[in-house]
Structure formats: C-alpha cells, structure tokens
Structure 1
Amino acid sequence: MNPSLNRLVSIIGVPLDLGANHRGVDIGPSAVRYAQLEEHLQALGYSIEDKGDILPNKPNCSYLDESNLKYLDEITRVNTELCAIVAEEISRNRFPLVLGGDHSIAIGTISGVLQHKQRLGVLWFDAHGDINTAETSPSGNIHGMPVAVRFGLGHERLLGIGGRRVTLNPQKFVMIGVRDLDPGEKKLLKKLGITVYTMHEIDLFGMAAIMEKAIRQVSDGTDGVHVSFDMDAMDPLHAPGVGTPVLGGLTYRESHLAMELLAAANIVTSAEFVEINTVLDHRNQTAKVAVALIRSLLGERTL
C-alpha cells in the first residue's frame, strides 16, 4: 500500500489484555503511539485520524457463564465495538490500522472488514496457531481462538460478533512464522486445509519465496487482504516485549522483507499489530520495531 492508492489511515487502539495470560499488552497501543507512529506515517504522505482507544472494563471474575472461556462477556463487548468502528472506517474509504492489545481483538477487526469484503484474504503472522476452541484450549484464553472463530468454530457469543455469519475461506488464509501448536490446533489446521508456513519452510526456502506464494494465494480472487501481525512471530531477540515468546522466530530483516513485498504488491486493505507487552520489553524496543514494520507495510523504502 502507498499514499497514491489510499492516503487516509485510521488508527484504532484496543488496549485489551483479558484474552491473554500476562498483563502488559494493554499498554501496547500507547507504546506504539509513543514510538511516533503517527509522525512517521505523516512523513510518508498519509493523512492520519487517531480514533483513540476502545477501553475495556476489568471484570472481577474470569468466568461469568458455564464455559471455560475467560472474560467472555467483556471480550465479546470490546470486539463488537471494534467490529463496528472498523466497518465504519472502511465505509469512509479509510484504511483501518488496529493496535493491540492481545490477539483476541482479531475477532472484531476481521468481523468489521468482512462487513465490506466478504471475499477476504488474510495473512496471519504468528508463532502460534490461534485456532483453539473451548474444547481444545488448555488455558481458556481467547487470544488463542480468533482464527477458529473466524472459520465459524467456537462460542456462539463470539461467532455472533458483527451480526453476520460470514466466514473466511481457508484457501485464502495463510499463516507465516508458526512454530508452537497445540495438538488440537494441528488436527484442525489439517482438517481445514489451511496453508501454514512454519519456520522450517522459511529456513528452507527463504522469506522472499514464501511471500511470493502467500501473496499470490491470498490475493487471487479476493476483494481485499488483511494483515494480522502478532509480534511474537518474531524471534525474542528482536521483539522481546511479547507475552508468549518462542525462540527461533522471524528475524528483523525477514519481517521487514515480508512487509516490503506486501507494500509492493499493493493488496493490503487493513492491518493490525498485536501482543506488544511493555512489561516485558526493553526501552520500548518491540513497539519501535512494530512501528518500523508498519512503515514498511505502508510503503517506506530506503531509497
């Protein structure tokens, strides 16, 4: 993407940490803003409108019904609001850029995009599969479930966000950087036939070749492409401030190359960057890396 295609960007903060194990990701949107996201994007020629944050409440109890899903009520409320805001910004011909917060917010982001783009392609950068359900999740943490929800699997409350049962096409969904999957996730990914490029494939073939295949797959026959980037897709050496770090992840340059190739392809219509945990970070390093990746995704080049 570049300003000549759509110079209107709406920043939406979602400081939600109820879907995760660790506190700290609720400060992620503020950390990214502090790393001068808006100033950098304005320098690239974008017109920025910061919509502020969707503020979550802090329930006293994790479980408010008979499910084993933690904070289901509040996560549903926040994602419902996020869905409406994302849909509204797209209707205004603006590019929604969502800042998390934990990865459960992808339920609301993608639901909002699906209000306008029902043939949506998705590139999911993550160390994890995030495709658990209440039956397969070992923790009950909803940040490990957004992919399952967007394929129509999960709790009725989550499936009803957006009011329309439009689901993603597994053939237009690609995961990149995966290296930590639960047993139930492995079975479901194989059952749905989702393309997963683990770190093994990236090591073997290189990021450029992987991205060429992924871009072709998610853009062919779709009316938009959403990028969901969990910062734990990167190796903790480069992005230490994440809640669930996994060794052996994407390098700084591999991550930038992926974003640069997406920018050159001019296919991305929405994006979110999530799971920046400032409590575990070093001098806001991970937020600064996130801003650098966003800049590359939106067209910044060295020369």
Structure 2
Amino acid sequence: MKINFIGVPLFYGCDREGVNLGPNDLREKGVIELLERNNHEVYDLGNLHVPEILECDKYTHHNKMKYLNAILNVNKNLAHQVYSSLESKSFPLVIGGDHSLGLGSISGCSKYHDNMAVIWIDAHGDINTHETSPSGNVHGMPLAAAMGIGHDTLTDLYYQGQKVKPENVFILGARDLDEGELKLIEDYNLNVYTTEDIRKLGLEEVMRRVQNTLIEKKIDAIHLSYDIDSLDSTLVPGTGTPVADGLSVDECKYMLKHLIETRLVKSMDFVELNTKLEEGDSTISICMELIDYISKYL
C-alpha cells in the first residue's frame, strides 16, 4: 500500500504544548522504517506549517474558541492534503498533534468519498460546540463540526456544508462526556459505545453491531480517527487528557483489526501523544506497537 505520512504539529486545539512534537518524536523512533518493514511504500510528506500565535492572542478571533484562525488554517491545508492523497490512490496517515486536526482529515475524505463513515476511538466525544464547551479547546469540537453542528467557520471548513451524516458516525471507548455532548448524542441518536457498553456487551458484540450498521448504511469508506487516550490512563501518561477505566492495548488491537479487515478504512488519524508529560518512553512505545499492528493489517 502507498501511505502518505502527514505530520500535523498542532497543539492549539488542546492548549497544551508538547503534543505538537508527536510527529517528529515518532519519526525519531523509526516509525517510517517500521511502516516500510510491513511492506508499505511510504511517502513522508513532512509536517504541515503551523503559524506561531502568542498565548495572549489565543482569543483574538473568537471569545469562546482558542486559536481559532490558526486551527482553521492548518485544517484547511490538511483537508486538501488528505483529499490529494486519496486522489493519488494513497492512504493518508495523519499524525498529530491534537485531535482538532480530525476536522481537516474528515473534510478531505468527505470531498473524495460519496458515503463515508467516521469511527472515532476516544475517551471523549469531541462533539462540543463553542456554546457547550467548558474549556474553549477546539480539540473537543471537531466531530460535531464535521456533522455540521457548531460554528459556521468550523462546519464550512474546506467546502460548505456537512461532511459526514450523524448516523454514519461511531464513537467507541468514550467515558468522559460533557453535558452538551450527552444531549447531542440523545438528540441525534448517535452510535456511541462507551467503555461501560463495551464491558457489558463484550467487544465481539460491539464490533458486530458496528459492522452490521456499516453494511446497512452501504458505507463505501471509513475514516478511522484514533486518540491514544482511548487507552486506560495508567497505560498512557504521555497524553494530555488521560481518563481512568479505559481500554487495554489488546482491546484496542481487537477493534482496530476488525475495522481494518472490513477493507473500508481508507484514511486514519493517530493523535494526542505528548512525550513531555512523562519521564521515560512507555507511551510512545505503545504508540509504536499500535502503529506496527495497524500497518500489518492495512
């Protein structure tokens, strides 16, 4: 497979430095060589340019969304790079950076595919808007914006209108949902499987339900957006918003394998590694393990 490795050194969405180092940290660990060892033709497209914004200016463009214009700029460029990758029959592997980049990835995929699904594996829903977000951090808003919910500067990124239908969105592993997100889940009857649901139903049943829905909706492509905080907080100290009672590495591998084996996964994000938050390299080692596992099934 031809893989376009796209680095997005963005921390403005989470407002916590360190996560912007993720793409280069993984390169230094040998992630490109790892992908090549798994028989992929890898094109390292480098890192997208992220404009430098002073902290004192983070609310300049909106009083409830931090660093808005810079995030929009990066995401617009990412959307076009993802779209161009798909046009060239390559697999865009987007490495963050924080999860606000998910809006750009989805926007690029949506322009290319006719009936796509988004599978969001994350401890958080990332379906807040500027009106419901308790923090003003845009990494908590990209999935809502992709569904056409929220501020029009986000919802109309790259091209005007909704990028993915709410019924084609799946959130897996969530366990830290804000009040506004819970209401949105109810209002739109979103496909959400929390860690509690996964424990109750079992992973096999959850994946069976997801795959049946994909077939029922006649999905032609999946954008898979993976946040490492889906893992239990004890496993990933090197991420900005760790949450207890999360998934094990084996549970994540099980989900990723079953999704990739549908042969519908055509693009992927891998986000929220922040090596500045821990001593040692346990988190980045798990990231390398997961990327290695994923690439064996692509």
**Common fold by TM > 0.5:** yes
What is the percentage of aligned positions where both structures have the same residue?
36
Residue 31 of structure 1 is matched in structure 2 by 25
Q: Give the unaligned 5+ runs of structure 2.
A: none
Q: Distance in 2 between matches of 1:218 and 1:283?
A: 40
Q: Distance in 1 between matches of 2:203 and 2:288?
A: 20
Q: Distance in 2 between matches of 1:291 and 1:121?
A: 26
- Residue 47 (1) aligns with residue 41 (2): yes
CA contact (8 A) 1:67 1:134 kept: no
Residue 245 of structure 1 is matched in structure 2 by 242
- Residue 173 (1) aligns with residue 179 (2): no
* Structure 1 residue 178 displacement after superposition: 0.5
Would you identify which runs of 4 or more consecutive aligned residues in structure 1 move more than 4 Å?
A: none
Question: What are the Cα deviations for residues 142-197 of structure 1, in whole angstroms up to 9, with x where unaligned?
Answer: 00000110011122221221123243112211111100011111001110111111
Bigger Cα displacement from structure 2, 283-292 vs 182-191 = 283-292
Residue 9 of structure 1 is matched in structure 2 by 3
CA contact (8 A) 1:118 1:166 kept: no
- Is the alpha carbon distance of 1:185 and 1:166 closer, same or farther for their aligned partners in structure 2, counting shifts above 3 Å? closer
- Residue 230 (1) aligns with residue 227 (2): yes
Residue aligned with 1:298, SS: helix
From 201, 206, 210, give the equivalent of 1:210. Answer: 206
Q: Distance in 1 between matches of 2:28 and 2:233?
A: 21
Question: What are the Cα deviations for residues 4-48 of structure 1, in whole angstroms up to 9, with x where unaligned?
Answer: xxx100000001000103221001111222232211211111100
- Residue 83 (1) aligns with residue 74 (2): no
- Residue 97 (1) aligns with residue 85 (2): no
Aligned pairs, number: 295
Q: Distance in 2 between matches of 1:259 and 1:238?
A: 18
Residue aligned with 2:296, SS: coil
Bigger Cα displacement from structure 2, 161-170 vs 246-255 = 161-170
Q: Distance in 2 between matches of 1:84 and 1:264?
A: 27
Q: Distance in 2 between matches of 1:37 and 1:158?
A: 31
- Is the alpha carbon distance of 1:160 and 1:170 closer, same or farther for their aligned partners in structure 2, counting shifts above 3 Å? closer
